[in-house]
Amino acid sequence: MESTMNEIINIPLVDLKAQYDTIKSEIDSEMQAVINKTAFIGGEWVSKFEAAYAKAYEVKRCISCANGTDAIYITLKVLGIGSGDEVITVASSWISTSETISQTGAKPVFVDIDPDYYLIDISKIEEKITSKTKAIIPVHIYGQPVQMDEVKEICDSHGLYLIEDCAQAVFAEYKGQRVGTFGITGTFSFFPRQKSWCLR
Ligand SMILES: Cc1ncc(COP(=O)(O)O)c(C=O)c1O
């Protein structure tokens, strides 16, 4: 009898080795220069990166952090979000989006995602807003942008901070505008996601 079990197949999203091979000498010499100068924390290369990223992204400023999780946490702290506050987001994201909210002492409040694109269901946001809500963190997931004009309108009309989690959608655009440029901050990640899986 033929098996009805699903078979898991690996689908590489990006071949980092192939990318590296094309610019190997450039990367190797820069890495060696960092090591020679023991410039492991901050310094010349971090400043160069921030300037280059801000230029490429066409924004005023890029501030580097250790990772995308820290970027969300630091943003929340800078905005004074903490105990007694609520932050609206989605459960269908990497854990960093909600764990950083909890880490500040605030409460993550989850809105359902839409079944077609797995993005926050805009029509269900307003029913979750209370007097404790301070911010909304839409997550641009699987490279797909959230409908940012609608989320921004909700944030503006309720006086809420808009923080965009762009970890999975670097350089994605919504109506010709890059994700991460609609809210007070956009947070990014360089997690080297080489693989994803699907069931066949
Ligand atoms: C949607 C989302 N937000 C935040 C993060 C956190 O980024 P990092 O792994 O750089 O801390 C990730 C990482 O995969 C992510 O997918």
Query: Does residue 196 surpass a pLDDT of 90?
Result: no
Q: Which atom of ligand 1 is nearest to the CA of 165?
A: 3
In a domain? residue 17: yes
Looking at the fold, whether 42 and 93 belong to one and the same domain comes out as no
Same domain, 43 and 115: no
Neighbouring-strand partners of residue 110: 89
Domain count, the chain: 2
Give 189 Cα–ligand 1 centroid separation in angstroms: 6
What ligand 1 atom has the least distance to the C-alpha of 190?
10
Q: Given CA atoms 17, 70, 179, 64 in this order, what sign does their dihedral have?
A: negative
62 within domain boundaries:
no
Please report which confidence band the pLDDT of residue 43 belongs to, taking 50, 70 and 90 as the band edges.
Answer: confident
Shared domain for 185 and 94, answered yes or no, is yes
Is residue 130 in a domain?
Answer: yes
Confidence grade of residue 1 (pLDDT, cut at 50, 70, 90): very low
* 65's tokens: 């952090």
Surface-to-core class of residue 38, CB atoms within 10 Å of its CB (0-12 exposed, 13-18 middle, 19+ buried): exposed
67, 76, 94, 187: residue to mutate for ligand 1 pocket, most atoms within 8 A of CB: 94
Q: Are residues 49 and 120 in the same domain?
A: no
For residue 147, CA distances in Å to 42, 43, 46, 164, 166 come to: 35, 37, 32, 12, 13
Is 83 inside a domain boundary? yes
Residues 77 and 159 in one domain: yes
Residues 157 and 193 in one domain: yes
Mark whether 102 and 147 lie in a shared domain.
yes
Same domain, 141 and 88: yes
Q: Higher confidence at residue 20 or residue 191?
A: 20
In this structure, the answer to whether residues 38 and 117 fall within a common structural domain is: no
**Residue 131 is which amino acid?**
S
Q: What percent of the chain has pLDDT over 70?
A: 94
Report yes or no: 107 and 85 within 8 Å, Cβ to Cβ: yes
- At 126, phi and psi to the nearest 5? -60, -30
pLDDT surpasses 80 at 22: yes
15 φ/ψ angles, rounded to the nearest 5 degrees = -100, 95
Q: To test ligand 1's pocket by mutation, which of 65, 70, 96, 179 has the most ligand atoms within 8 angstroms of CB?
A: 96
In this structure, the number of other CB atoms found within 10 A of the CB of residue 132 comes to: 12
Q: Is residue 187 domain-shared with residue 96, that is, in the same domain? A: yes
The rounded Å distance from CA 144 to ligand 1 centre is 15
- The minimum-distance atom of ligand 1 relative to the CA of 189 is 10
CATH code for the domain of 107: 3.40.640.10
Is 4 part of a structural domain of the chain?
A: no
Assess if residue 5 is contained within a domain. no
Instruction: Provide the residue range defining the domain that includes 138.
Output: 68-198
Among 99, 144, 191, the mutation site with the greatest number of ligand 1 atoms within 8 A of its Cβ is 191
Q: What is the pTM of this model?
A: 0.90
Residue 97 and residue 129 in one domain: yes
139 and 179 together in one domain:
yes
